[in-house]
Amino acid sequence: MRVLLHTGKGGVGKTTHAAATALAAARAGHRVFLLSSDPAHSLGDSFGLPIGSRPTELAPGVVAQEVAVLEELERSWSEIQGWLRGLLRDETDDILADELLVFPGLEELVSLRAIREVEAMGEFDVCVVDCAPTGATLRMLRFPDALRIFMESFFDLKRQGARVLRPILDRFREGLVPSEDLFEAFERLYSDIDQVQRILRDTTRTTARLVVNPSRLVVAETRRSYAYLCLYGVATDAVIVNRVLPEEARRGYFARWARREQEEMAEIEASFPVPRLQAPLLPREVRGLEALESLAESLWAGRDPAERLTTEEPIVIEKQRGRVRIRLALPGARKEELDLKVRGTELFLRVRDASRCLALPDSVSGRALESARLEDGVLWIEFA
């Protein structure tokens, strides 16, 4: 099943384009599931139809759902959270504890579990996702690293400890030691998250479409998001430039806006090494099936939106004459914002405030890092 993520800064048109893409994909003959993972759901508003937490058929070939995140979270996380809070305060470093306790990105991850459920139904070819604004999506991608460290370093120890202590302490007062159910729930959640992450990082299945507006702040933020998506191994295969002033509006009152826009269009072209699609600023809000169909037609014009629009991979590992090099697209990143270390079999990479531990292939692990260069928005890392 193909997965198309729609992400971008707040208010740029993510929901609108997710909806239009779903309609275009259905028109291309796919069975489409349209999923909103943004806790502030607005797919229903966009279609002008009620959509709930149960799959609802919206148009021929399009079924939609808005995941009820709070309910889901309540179900799978609140108990675990209480247990973790006590545990982490005492025993791990502060950053890890904060990241796990504040659960940045957890809401988004919990709702993205729905992608797996959609896939398991086996009835859909394409899952179009209307994501929360970029910040949340990125936090969601980074959450599992913290969880993995916790799993690998503490989980088994805690569980064994609990098995030993429970029969003794339960005699005094029950509930002093976390129950086996709790460990199971935690393990299940971890495995769910791991599977979602695999889907998102599987570049043959999943690609992100970044929605931007031709304005300075939006472009700057989106450039950072693009780099973060690459860092976390999610492929971006298109940028949708939304709300471009149409020809007839580029004179008179809007002439200066039009000039500014021109500059931003050049900036967008230089910033994103992927295909760009353009949608005009329409004279009114895009609401309802008819308006969305017409936007879909103008953007996709008979093309299949489920196709992968570029073969660019976020992270490439190449071998050449006995040397191994890793290539990572990080548009807009500056040298002083990067930090890079090899630790055993992992490459630790930090770009501004985002970091990732990348498992190195066997062919590289144990070798010395020879050089790292940042050139035209691409980071090259070479091993001896």
Ligand X SMILES: Nc1ncnc2c1ncn2[C@@H]1O[C@H](COP(=O)(O)OP(=O)(O)OP(=O)(O)O)[C@@H](O)[C@H]1O
* Strand partners of residue 163: none
- CA angle, residues 166, 169, 172, in degrees to nearest 5: 140
Residue 14 makes contact with ligand X by CB under 6 A:
yes
Residue 13 makes contact with ligand X by CB under 6 A:
yes
Sheet bearing 32-36, strands edge to edge: 56-59, 62-66, 32-36, 126-130, 2-8, 206-212, 236-244, 276-280
- CA angle, residues 172, 176, 177, in degrees to nearest 5: 120
**Binding site partner of 287, from Mg ion, ligand X, none, Cβ cut-off 5-8 A by kind:** ligand X
CB within 8 Å of 130: residues ≥ 6 apart: 6, 14, 15, 18, 19, 34, 35, 36, 37, 38, 42, 43
* Site track for ligand X across 37-66, x = CB under 6 A: -x---x------------------------
- Return the number of the residue (279 or 296) whose C-beta is nearest ligand X: 279
Question: How many residues line the site for ligand X (CB under 6 A)?
Answer: 18
Residue in the shown chain whose Cβ atom is closest to Mg ion: 15
> Sign of the CA dihedral 352, 354, 360, 361?
negative
- Return the number of the residue (42 or 345) whose C-beta is nearest Mg ion: 42
* Site track for Mg ion across 51-90, x = CB under 5 A: ----------------------------------------
Residue 20 makes contact with ligand X by CB under 6 A:
no
**Minimal distance, residue 322 CB to ligand X, in Å:** 48
Contacts to Mg ion from residues 159-178, by CB under 5 A? none
Q: Closest Cα partner for 317 from 351, 365, 274?
A: 365
Which of 118, 147, 229, 286 binds ligand X (CB under 6 A)? It is 286
**Minimal distance, residue 6 CB to Mg ion, in Å:** 9
Contacts to Mg ion from residues 3-32, by CB under 5 A? 14-15
Stretch that binds ligand X, among 59-67, 98-106, 221-229, 279-287 (CB under 6 A): 279-287
**Minimal distance, residue 40 CB to ligand X, in Å:** 6
Contacts to ligand X from residues 112-151, by CB under 6 A? 133
Q: Closest Cα partner for 67 from 378, 76, 1?
A: 76
**Token pair 């009114």 in the structure block, residue:** 284
**Binding site partner of 21, from ligand X, Mg ion, none, Cβ cut-off 5-8 A by kind:** none
- Return the number of the residue (104 or 133) whose C-beta is nearest Mg ion: 133
d(CA 19, CA 295): 10
d(CA 151, CA 135): 25
Query: Does residue 169 contact residue 176 with C-beta atoms inside 8 Å?
Result: yes
Query: Does residue 244 contact residue 280 with C-beta atoms inside 8 Å?
Result: yes
Which value, in Å, is the radius of gyration of the alpha carbons in the chain? 23
Helix (H, G, I), strand (E, B) or coil at 250: coil
**Minimal distance, residue 242 CB to Mg ion, in Å:** 12
Query: Does residue 339 contact residue 350 with C-beta atoms inside 8 Å?
Result: yes
Residue 278 makes contact with ligand X by CB under 6 A:
no
Chain residues in the site for Mg ion (CB under 5 A) = 14-15, 42
Chain residues in the site for ligand X (CB under 6 A) = 10-16, 38, 42, 133, 242-243, 279, 281-282, 285-287
